Amino acid sequence: MHACKPHEDGRDMAGQPLIDRAHLARQAGGDAALEREVLELFVAQVAHAAQALAGADAGKRREIAHSLVGTGRAVGAFVLADCAARLEAAPQDEALAACLVLLIARTRAQVAGMIAR
C-alpha cells in the first residue's frame, strides 16, 4: 500500500482523518456556513484536479500537485496535501499519481458526507 493511500474508514495509514475538522473550523472562524462554502469550493477544485491528472505529463502533474498542496492545507485535508507534495517532488511517479487520484475520490466522498449533515 502506498504511503498516501487511505483506509476505507476515512483515515490514512497513520490514522489521520482525511479532513481535520478542527483546523477547518479555525480557518472559518467557527462559521458553519463558511465551512460548508469552503468545502464545496474545495470539492470542485479537487474534482477538476483529478480529471486533469489523468492525462497530464510530469510538468503538468507538478503544477496540479502544487495547487493541491495549498488547497489541501487551507481546508485541513493534510493527508491529501502531503500526498500532493510527494507527487510535486516526483511527478513522474505513475503509482503516486494514481494514489493521489484515489485519495481525492475518498476525500471528496468524506466531504460530501460532511456537507450533507
The domains found in the chain, sorted by start residue, are: 21-116 (1.20.120)
Q: For residues 96 and 87, is the Cβ–Cβ distance under 8 A?
A: yes
In this prediction, residue 8 carries a pLDDT of 53
For 82-87, which contacts have Cβ atoms below 8 Å and span 24 or more sequence positions?
82/4, 83/3, 83/4, 86/3, 86/4, 87/61, 87/62
Pick 15 or 3 by higher pLDDT: 15
Cα 66 to chain centroid distance, Å, stands at: 12
Q: Would you say residue 1 has pLDDT above 50? A: no
pLDDT of 79: 93
Report DSSP state, residue 17: B
* Single pTM value for the model: 0.86
